[in-house]
């Protein structure tokens, strides 16, 4: 990621989690410049004390949850904001989009009829990179047909490990 600050260019490297959310920026030497954390629904969390909201008011980049643009002026400080997911705008406080999905990807799955929900109500299993189409297989076994296959982010089934702030292992679970 190229950052321009007062006429000075900086090349920063991004690190993401399994949802594609930004978790760290490093400089060319590998030094951490800024850390990020999000709950499963996209609300900003304090990267050092995950159970607390992120109280910062300024970040190096406005990208974050699933790589999308955070609109911090709309939602305030303390981790609150809405997220521009390209096709629609998402509110992590409610876990819902602000407008209905014009598509029903899985008509055999009743959960998909809540057209404001994010990823069938399961953000730990699916992502919705375009704002219009979650990526996964519905309960009826039908595969969602990608509307924009070139930008879909695939989730990989893998164990998730949780560590405390001193990098001590706490617990893990399979996604």
Convert the pLDDT of each residue in 103-162 to its tens digit.
887 788 888 888 888 888 888 777 777 777 766 543 334 444 433 333 333 333 344 555
Q: How confident is the model at residue 16 (pLDDT cuts 50, 70, 90)?
A: very high
pLDDT for res 29: 92
pLDDT of residue 132: 74
Which DSSP state fits 145? P
Rounded-to-integer distance, Cα 56 and Cα 54, Å:
6
Asked if residues 166 and 136 have their Cβ atoms less than 8 Å apart, the reply is no
Strands of the sheet containing 32-35, edge to edge, are 13-16, 22-26, 32-35
pLDDT at residue 108 in the model: 84
**Does the pLDDT at position 36 exceed 90?**
yes
Half-sphere exposure of 76 (CA within 13 A, CB side): 3
pLDDT for 128 equals 77
Question: What does the pLDDT read at residue 34?
Answer: 94
User: What's the confidence (pLDDT) of residue 26?
Assistant: 94
Spatial distance between the Cα atoms of 87 and 133, rounded to a whole number of angstroms: 9
User: What pLDDT, on a 0 to 100 scale, did the predictor assign at position 80?
Assistant: 67
Q: Write down the pLDDT at residue 47.
A: 92
| pTM, two decimal places | 0.68
pLDDT of residue 76: 52
Confidence check: pLDDT of 164 > 70: no
């Amino acid at each position: 990621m190229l950052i321009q600050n007062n006429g000075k260019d900086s090349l920063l490297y991004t690190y993401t989690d399994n949802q594609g959310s930004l978790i760290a920026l490093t400089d060319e030497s590998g030094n951490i410049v800024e850390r990020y954390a999000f709950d499963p629904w996209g609300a900003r969390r304090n990267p050092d004390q995950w159970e607390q909201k992120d109280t910062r008011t300024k970040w190096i980049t406005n990208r974050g949850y699933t790589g999308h643009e955070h609109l911090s002026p709309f939602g305030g400080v303390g981790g609150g904001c809405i997220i521009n997911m390209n096709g629609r705008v998402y509110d992590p406080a409610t876990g819902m989009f602000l407008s209905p999905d014009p598509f029903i990807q899985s008509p055999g799955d009743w959960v998909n009829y809540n057209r404001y929900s994010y990823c069938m109500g399961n953000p730990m299993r699916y992502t919705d990179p375009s704002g219009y189409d979650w990526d996964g297989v519905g309960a009826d076994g039908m595969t969602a047909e990608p509307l924009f296959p070139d930008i879909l982010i695939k989730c990989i089934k893998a164990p998730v490990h949780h560590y405390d702030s001193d990098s001590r292992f706490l617990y893990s679970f399979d996604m």
